[in-house]
Structure 1
Amino acid sequence: MSDSRITRSTVKNRLFPESKWTEISNRVAAAFRMSDEERARFQAKDVARLIGSLPFLAGCDDAERTSVAHLGTYILSIRETKPYFNATQGDNESVFDRLRLISSFKGGDASIIERGMSLLALNMVHDYRRDAAEDVFLRKYNPVSDGSFDHDALTTELKQRIERTSCPEMDEIMDPEVGPLGYWGW
């Protein structure tokens, strides 16, 4: 089959097969002692799948280990240890500061990594905007509600970063127009 005839699904399956996602996500879910319901929600979550697939899509060395480590950090950021991952003023230098613990990759295509991390950052920025009023009420720090981050300017910048590199396999995991509008957690 020539490259021009390869479908998205064929390419996706070659880079990050469903069986690999099932294997990794089941093991991570078991390590965190997730119930069957939690595991199903985790496995269905676009953000989790993008985090887990990014080392594979970028062709990184040691992709499995990186995937598991990044997924572990993601889960810690939304469960009982969530307060340690909440935004602080120390994260205001860059929209990517809060993502630094899931942004270490060995080798791989830097443009694919940048695209994936930009999608995750866009999701986070939309979360900031959606939660702005509630966070003020809860006295929880939010860089959009305090004016440190300009939601519209960051959205434009992140969309430009995403559009610079085509990756249909990533688009199947998280649609760049709709996926970032979802919630970070499940």
Structure 2
Amino acid sequence: MVTQQNVEVKIGSSLFTEELWLEIADNLAAAFRMNPLEADTLRKNRMARLVAALPFLAGCEDAGRTAVAHLGTYLLSVRETKRWFCATPEDSSSIMERLRLGSSFKGGDKDILQRGMSLLALNMISDYKRDLSEDAALGKYNPLGAGDFKFEETVEELEWAIAKRPCDEMDEIITAGEMPLSYWVEG
């Protein structure tokens, strides 16, 4: 079980160890009653890993609790409750609006937090672009299809936010260059 006390010990020389990731992923897999295949898929999902790693990489207070809460929200957004998390016109105020439920952090390096959230947003807008035709055929709202965001401009802004604060440990999880090729669910 992840507790604040054992998180401090496990971090050691690395901010987010493989052991810590597996413990968090396995705890959430158990809480969501995942079968072994689903649990293995979660362990390999780079988007999920980034969500959990971000509060640790930024040095946030209460990083373990934040990681578990944000990863739980992420899992709700891709499982049986995902329809409650689909993009809506109300999300058009900012590319970050849909990520707001997983963006509450206590303290931490603001540039690292912005970098991580920008990576997640880059993945999300890449998904919007990839899904344009399918969403149009299904009559499903897509922010790019609706003209709420300009793809190239938004990607440029996100890539700038990512580039302005290097973070090798975050790059070990996923880089901005890999993001357009990654899927929100499969990572």
Does TM-score exceed 0.5, indicating one fold? yes
Contact 2:87 2:142 in 1 (8 A): yes
The reply on whether 1:39 has 2:5 as its aligned counterpart is: no
Q: Which runs of 5+ in 2 are unaligned?
A: 1-10
Q: Indicate the residue corresponding to 2:138 in structure 1.
A: 138
1:128 counterpart = 2:128? yes
Identity over the aligned pairs, expressed in percent?
Answer: 53
CA distance in 2, matches of 1:12, 1:131: 41
Cα distance in 2 between the residues matched to 1:50 and 1:37: 20
Q: Is the 8 A contact 2:46 2:174 kept in 1?
A: yes
Count of aligned positions: 176
Q: Distance in 2 between matches of 1:153 and 1:117?
A: 17
Measured after TM superposition, the shift of residue 147 of structure 1 is 1.1
Alignment of 1:1-150 (within 5 A): 14-150=14-150
**Structure 2 length as normaliser, TM-score?**
0.91
Tell me what 1:155 maps to: 155
Native 8 Å contact 2:50 2:173 kept in 1? yes
**Pairing of 1:175-186 with structure 2 (within 5 A):** 175-186=175-186
Q: Give the distance between the partners of 1:181 and 1:50, measured in 2 at CA.
A: 15
CA contact (8 A) 2:122 2:179 kept: no
When the two chains are superposed, the root-mean-square deviation of aligned CA atoms in Å is 1.3
Letter in 1 for 2:152: D
Unaligned runs of 5+ in 1: 1-10
Q: CA deviation at 1:124?
A: 0.2
